[in-house]
């Protein structure tokens, strides 16, 4: 009796041997750069130039992070990716009671336009592409970035980059939400409209499956729940009166790359194909750019281990290779020590060097979609597509992504998968090198990077000075204008920018919106 086939991360069978019969009756996909873009969104892909090499960085004060950015640029980084601390992500100032103990810990603290100016001091914003991992207060941080660009003499039309701005996945997996889903979607639509008029080269959203994967989603769930969120954003924008081809070319996505290389390559290929068909068949998109699923990838932080951390260099290399073979547009490689603490400068440099070796010392950039025609990968692509479509159909039955979120559906499904994976690891049926197999009797000592807790007081002093020096009545008037816009239907980004230019803080702006829209309380179903 033949053995049972091995199962993929998504629970789909992986046959020991594939052959022509695996693809019987299947029509080959069109070439790279052609609908439905299974083989890549551009005809030449990396044969023209490699992907954008980003490094996700930010810690402590704006000045400390600025110094790290300058070193990364000197080392060859071609795009910055900003990590904000938890208070900033939640829309609180560094001196707020809820910020205590968290200032500068998992990213940089940004409380005002002054902090943003320090963060990018000496970095011409007209010549760098910046990605900002910020969601609920994405509009606030984008406007701060625009204000700093204007102060540098850079017109908004010359600014390039991305705000993540994907608040729906916060309710599903990550938790840094502020407002309930429906006013949050209104804020997303306002940002779409604002950028089309004022910052036209900016990518207005990075619809993220990465954080779902980090919470435990398998590859099929990662793609299904992410694309369902994408559909919800498109529906919201269309309902707000925008033509799909006016905003869809600026949509982008953000996925994880795991160590299961073959399934990850198949996942990226299937995701492109599904999104292209959704955009053309459901929304009537005619501009090919509206049908392209362009995405950033980050290697899998959840698969890094604190045990034998140097082994993470191998994991990250395999994961990065999966992203490149899958056709990513930009890539962040995690540092080997991130399971212990914030990455040291040396570890961050090694992570960047990993990408540079793949780009310049291997032949993976010499040809487009090298797995095309592979019996195994083509069949895995088809199997994943079928599984993803079934999961997306279930969300539609529940009324769409927002309705499903309000019922706790995606969160519960991910939690069940995470629980199953943890059980497999503890039982030893899922191998994690250095954790449940090939362990050492004693770990080698390692000195992690530590954030100085004194920065909390330093930020509080900066805020006190800011509030003392600014025009208080002008700030109050601007915040009143923001509240009135939030109560009505006007685009809130215009009065928001006035308030930030008057030196209102991130927390004050978010508090003005909290006063009108309230906050979100999650539904627990697990």
Q: How many CB atoms lie within 10 A of CB 415?
A: 18
Alpha helices in 76-180 (DSSP H): 86-89, 113-119, 138-151, 168-169
In DSSP terms, which residues pair with 351 in a beta bridge?
Answer: none
Quick check: is 462 in a domain? no
Structure tokens at 110: 């940004």
On whether both 354 and 217 belong to a single domain, the answer is yes
Whether residues 360 and 484 fall in one domain: no
Q: In this structure, are residues 266 and 255 in contact, taking their beta carbons and an 8 Å threshold? A: no
pLDDT at 140: 98
Element (H, E) at 52: strand 52-57
Question: Cβ of 202: how many Cβ atoms within 10 Å?
Answer: 23
Q: Are 173 and 414 in contact (CB under 8 A)?
A: yes
Distance, CA of 239 to CA of 231 (rounded, Å)? 12
Q: For residues 395 and 277, state if they share a domain.
A: yes
- Are 130 and 274 in a shared domain? yes
pLDDT at 162: 92
CATH number at residue 400: 3.20.20.240
The boundaries of the domain holding residue 481 are 470-517
Residue that finishes a domain, picked among 396, 427, 458: 427
Question: Are 85 and 226 in a shared domain?
Answer: yes
Last residue of a domain, one of 394, 427, 460: 427
Angle at alpha carbon of residue 452, lines to 448 and 456, rounded to 5°:
140
Task: State how far Cα 232 lies from the chain centre.
Answer: 17
Are the CB atoms for 446 and 311 separated by under 8 Å?
A: no
Identify whether 434 is part of a domain.
no
- Examine the domain organization and report whether 476 and 412 are in the same domain: no
If DSSP codes are grouped into helix, strand and coil, which group holds residue 310? coil
Please indicate, yes or no, if residue 11 is contained in any of the structural domains: no
Answer whether 479's CB lies under 8 Å from 504's CB.
yes
Please give the Cα distance from 289 to 308 (Å, whole number).
Answer: 44
> What is the reported pLDDT for 2?
62
Same domain membership, residue 275 and residue 220: yes
The pLDDT value given to residue 524: 66
Give Cα 35 to chain centroid, integer Å: 25
Domain for residue 35, yes or no?
A: no
**pLDDT tens, N- to C-terminus, the chain (526 residues):** 566 778 999 999 999 999 999 998 888 899 999 999 999 999 999 999 999 998 777 888 999 999 989 988 888 887 788 999 999 999 999 999 999 999 999 899 999 999 999 999 999 999 889 999 999 999 999 999 999 999 999 999 999 999 999 999 999 988 899 999 999 999 999 999 999 999 999 999 999 999 999 999 999 999 999 999 999 999 999 999 999 999 999 999 999 999 999 999 999 999 999 999 999 999 999 999 999 999 999 999 999 999 999 999 999 999 999 999 999 999 999 999 999 988 888 998 999 999 999 999 999 999 999 999 999 999 999 999 999 999 999 999 999 999 999 999 999 999 999 999 999 999 999 999 999 999 998 888 877 777 788 899 999 999 999 999 999 999 999 999 999 999 999 999 999 999 999 999 999 999 999 999 999 987 665 4
Task: Assess whether 184 and 94 both reside in one domain.
Answer: yes
Quick one: pLDDT at residue 3? Answer: 66
Asked if residue 445 belongs to a domain, the reply is: no
The reply to whether 399 and 277 lie within a common domain is yes
Number of domains into which the chain is organized: 2
Q: Are residues 56 and 190 in the same domain?
A: yes
Residues 401 and 502 in one domain: no
């Amino acid at each position: 009796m033949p053995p049972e086939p091995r199962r993929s991360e998504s629970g789909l069978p992986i046959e020991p041997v594939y052959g022509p019969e695996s693809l019987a009756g299947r029509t080959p996909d069109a070439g790279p750069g052609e609908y439905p873009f299974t083989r890549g969104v551009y005809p030449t892909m990396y044969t023209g130039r490699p992907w954008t090499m980003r490094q996700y960085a930010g810690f402590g004060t704006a000045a400390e992070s600025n110094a790290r950015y300058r070193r990364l640029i000197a080392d060859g980084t071609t795009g910055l990716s900003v990590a904000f601390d938890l208070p900033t992500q939640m829309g609180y100032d560094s001196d707020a009671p809820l910020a205590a103990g968290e200032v500068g810990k998992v990213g940089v603290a940004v409380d005002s336009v002054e902090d943003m100016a320090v963060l990018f001091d000496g970095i011409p914003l007209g010549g760098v592409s910046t990605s900002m991992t910020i969601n609920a207060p994405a509009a606030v941080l984008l406007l701060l970035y625009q204000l700093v660009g204007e102060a540098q003499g850079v017109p908004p039309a010359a600014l390039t980059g991305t705000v993540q701005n994907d608040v729906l996945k916060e309710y599903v997996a990550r938790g840094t939400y502020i407002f309930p889903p429906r006013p949050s979607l209104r804020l997303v639509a306002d940002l779409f409209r604002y950028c089309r008029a004022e910052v036209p080269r900016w990518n207005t959203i990075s619809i993220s499956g990465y954080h779902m994967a980090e919470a435990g989603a398998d590859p099929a769930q990662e793609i299904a729940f992410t694309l369902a969120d994408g559909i919800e954003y498109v529906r919201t924008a269309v309902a707000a009166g925008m033509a799909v081809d006016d905003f869809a070319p600026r949509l982008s996505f953000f996925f994880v790359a795991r160590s299961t290389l073959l399934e990850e390559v198949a996942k990226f290929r299937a995701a492109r194909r599904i999104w292209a068909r959704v955009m053309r068949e459901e929304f009537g998109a005619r501009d090919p750019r509206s049908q392209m699923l362009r995405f950033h990838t980050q290697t899998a932080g959840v698969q890094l281990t604190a045990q034998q951390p140097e082994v993470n260099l191998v994991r990250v290399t395999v994961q990065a290779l999966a992203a490149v073979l899958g056709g990513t547009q930009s890539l962040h490689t995690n540092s080997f020590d991130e399971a212990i603490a914030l990455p040291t400068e040396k570890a961050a440099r090694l992570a960047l060097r990993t990408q540079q070796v793949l780009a310049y010392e291997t032949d993976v950039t010499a040809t487009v979609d090298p797995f095309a025609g592979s019996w195994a990968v083509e069949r895995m692509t088809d199997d994943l597509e079928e599984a993803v479509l079934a999961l997306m159909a279930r969300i539609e039955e529940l009324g769409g992504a927002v309705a499903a979120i309000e019922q706790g559906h995606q969160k519960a499904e991910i939690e069940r998968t995470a629980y199953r994976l943890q059980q497999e690891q503890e039982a030893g049926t899922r191998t994690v090198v250095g954790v449940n197999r090939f362990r050492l009797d004693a770990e080698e000592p390692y000195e992690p990077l530590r954030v100085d807790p004194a920065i909390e007081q330093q930020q509080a002093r900066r805020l006190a000075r800011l509030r003392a020096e600014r025009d208080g009545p002008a700030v109050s008037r601007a915040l009143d204008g923001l509240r009135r816009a939030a109560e009505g239907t006007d685009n809130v980004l215009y009065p928001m920018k006035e308030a930030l230019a008057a030196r209102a803080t991130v927390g004050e702006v978010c508090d003005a919106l909290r006063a009108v829209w309230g906050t979100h309380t999650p539904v627990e179903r697990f």
